Amino acid sequence: MTVADMNLDLKDRTIILGVTGSIAAYKAADITSRLTEAGAKVFPVMTSSACRFIQPLTLQVLSRNPVASDMWKEGEGWQPGHIELADQADLLLVAPATAHCLALFAQGLAPDLLSSIHLATPASVMLAPAMNGKMLAHAATQANIETLRSRGYHFIAPQSGMLACGYEGDGKLAAVDTIVQSVKDFFANA
């Protein structure tokens, strides 16, 4: 085994990286790069709000795969592309996961491509929340998190620190190192 092979902890793993509309969406570029370097096949799926924070082309270049963001612009084949992608996944990682995303997932709603893939995939789901601390602490958000935990979803806890809104507190996206290591640990223990 070469030194390069030793760094391929995620070789032959297919990860759908969901990116939602948080200012932390820019960190998806680093997450994509690091997962790809570790050998994973990363397929970014961005919400329309995420596309306002970071351009899909960035994730396309870093993942070496097309970025899916619009359910109405799927491939030309007979099978809906989001179902095909959902079937291939070993893990659905959403980083950052907004309060809106958590609510959609908890309620089983599918108004966009990411939430449709979520409902269709048999893969495990890992969520890295990022939002204002007050939104995170809200009873509805906490109930959604508990609902998802009860379904066996994996969470990467947000950090405490200065938030984009100017407040200090919980809700900051976990460090990229923590997110990548959580994915590696998930597969090492699977």
Q: Which residues carry out catalysis?
A: 165
Identify the three-state secondary structure at position 102. Answer: helix
What is the rounded CA–CA span in Å between residue 103 and residue 128?
14
Q: Residue 166 burial (CB < 10 Å; 0-12/13-18/19+)?
A: exposed
Distance CA 124, CA 31 (A): 18
Cβ burial 16-53 (10 Å sphere, 16+ → b, else e):
bbbbbbbebbebbbebbbbbbebebbbbbbbbebbbeb
Q: At what angle do helices 176-188 and 27-37 cross, to 10 degrees?
A: 40
φ/ψ of residue 110, rounded to 5: -140, 65
Q: Which residues pair with 92 in a beta bridge?
A: 16, 125
